[in-house]
Amino acid sequence: KEEWRDAIQKSVEEQMKASPVVDNKNLSTIASTFLHMGKTMKMDMITVVQHIKHHYPENFQVCNTYAKFYHRYFSSQMAMFANFELSKEDNYLLLKWVQNLYLENIQNNSDLVKELDEASLGNLLPLEQIENLEQTYLIYEVDFIRSCLDRCLEIEANSWTEEPKPSILDNYYHSELSIDAIKAMCEVQECAMAITPEVGHKMSALLLTELLIFLQSYERKLEIFIKENRQKIYFEAIIIANINNFENFWTHTEKNTDSAESDVKTNIFSILEDIRTTGFNVLLAPLFQESETLLRQFNERRWASCSDLMDEIITFLDARIRVFQMLKNPHRQVIMERIHFFLVQKYIKRLMWKNTTLKSPEKQNQLSELIRRHASILYTFCTENGSNATWLESAIPSLAEIIRLQDPDAIKIEVCALVSRYPDIKRRHLRAILNIKHLSSSNLNSILIVLNIHGDATLPSSLLFSGIRLPFPLH
């Protein structure tokens, strides 16, 4: 029996040492060696199970004997190569054979699984060596993805100054940055998952950290570009293309990570929001500045000559916001809601800054109608262009109604409605509106008391009146 075992061992070693039948020049020496050994062990063991086993007495444990000799030889070769200074590719190959291919293609083969389970072969390498291979693999891949992401960002940043205009995809300004960066990370993640889910999970956490570092660099480069290139002809188009990257990075981070990495995810989302906000601010700053110059005319003209002023403002805005059609949603909606908020708030500010009193109900009614018309034009323009800030709809009309009403009790009811919708309104704001009317001190104070009733109301996340400062003291 011992002679038989020695003969089996020698035969196994000769089979495993034999040169591969097909010389694949695309594979490294290690890859060719492991492919040959894996195929040899698998096919020879199937032959043993199906054709040789039944020719021997049960106490010879034929399958067990063959399996252990094949495993021992495979393991010795694996240990030898593991002690070399391996390339990135060969390190990955060893790790994949140890953790995946050997298990899936040989040990769990449907023809062999029962026999190999009984042989209790164990791992091809000791746990410590497997961990060393895994650690080396992760270091290699982190260096690789960092290099890839740096290259992606370099190409993108160069395109901002070297190319004439961003490309257009599906009618939106387009940047390849998010696509290229995410593709590189997904490829690395897929390779890690092909080893084991555990290695894939470790890689996921590392990739998330690398994405955070990359986005921090991206934000810095974008800030430098903004600072130095505001006069560039396609400046707005480049900013829009970069804002359009937002959704891909956000979705990738949400879908490809788990709650264990929540701190890094939170930081990524924060940076993405900062990048988008920076882009919005850059796009809106000149628009807001010019809009406020036009709105200032409410305080420079008489009310009767302001009837067409809102039309002038809308004509100006219509031309300026056309470029925002190249923004993907939800970004176009967000930027239009910021414009909507700005216009409503600044209109109310100008109304309060007028600091004039209209004594006759007729003039108050005329002003109310003018304000209602302006409010309707403004709201229609903003909503037709993508704003969904419906909470702003009643703000200006409610002020117009307060100006129109003559009965103090009716005014109180309207003030209550206004305060319930906009609880951040203060006494000074309401008094500025009421000063337009010719109210007695007693009526004025009785209306202002309404604010005390709602003084403890919970403030909403979006505040309209708190950002309106008045140029004169009103208590």
How many residues are present in the chain?
475
**Spatial contact of 66 and 8, defined as CB atoms under 8 Å apart:** yes
Q: From its phi and psi, is residue 140 left (phi > 0), alpha (psi between -120 and 50) or beta?
A: alpha
Q: From its phi and psi, is residue 34 left (phi > 0), alpha (psi between -120 and 50) or beta?
A: alpha
Mean pLDDT of 102-129: 86
**Spatial contact of 196 and 137, defined as CB atoms under 8 Å apart:** no
What residue has token string 């890839």?
Answer: 148
Cα–Cα distance, 403 to 291 (Å, whole number): 25
**In the chain, pLDDT over 90 holds for what percent of residues?**
64
CB atoms within 10 A of CB 398: 20
Residues 360-374 pLDDT 10s: 999 999 999 999 999
Answer yes or no: is pLDDT of 83 > 70: yes
Extended strands (E) in 170-308? 172-174
Question: For residue 52, what are the CA distances in angstroms to 8, 290, 356, 417?
Answer: 12, 91, 108, 92
Helix, strand counts (H, E) of the chain: 20, 2
Q: What is the model's pLDDT at position 234?
A: 93
> If we measure between CA atoms, which residue out of 184, 304, 308, 336 comes closest to residue 252?
184
Residues 201-217 pLDDT 10s: 999 999 999 999 999 99
**Mean predicted lDDT score pLDDT of the chain:** 90
Q: Which residue has the higher pLDDT, 20 or 470?
A: 470
In this structure, what token pair is assigned to residue 319?
A: 């031309």
Residues 156-205 pLDDT 10s: 999 999 878 899 999 999 999 999 999 999 999 999 999 999 999 999 99
Domains by residue range for the chain, with CATH = 1-123 (no CATH), 130-278 (1.10.357.50), 301-452 (1.10.357)
What residue has token string 């702003």?
Answer: 392
**Spatial contact of 83 and 43, defined as CB atoms under 8 Å apart:** no
Answer yes or no: is pLDDT of 131 > 90: yes
Cα–Cα distance, 467 to 342 (Å, whole number): 10
**Spatial contact of 371 and 436, defined as CB atoms under 8 Å apart:** no
Residues 86-105 pLDDT 10s: 889 999 999 999 998 888 88
Mean pLDDT of 262-268: 91
Q: Which residue has the higher pLDDT, 85 or 422?
A: 422
**Spatial contact of 81 and 132, defined as CB atoms under 8 Å apart:** no
What residue has token string 């008489």?
Answer: 302
Cα–Cα distance, 443 to 434 (Å, whole number): 10
**CA 218, 250, 261 angle in degrees (round to 5)?**
95
Residues 412-438 pLDDT 10s: 999 999 999 999 999 999 999 999 988
Answer yes or no: is pLDDT of 312 > 60: yes
Answer yes or no: is pLDDT of 459 > 70: no
Residue type, 283: L
Helix (H, G, I), strand (E, B) or coil at 172: strand
What band does 458 get if pLDDT is binned at 50, 70 and 90?
A: low
Please, which residues have CB within 8 angstroms of residue 144's CB and are 6 or more apart in sequence?
88, 188
What residue has token string 């694996």?
Answer: 78
Answer yes or no: is pLDDT of 474 > 60: no
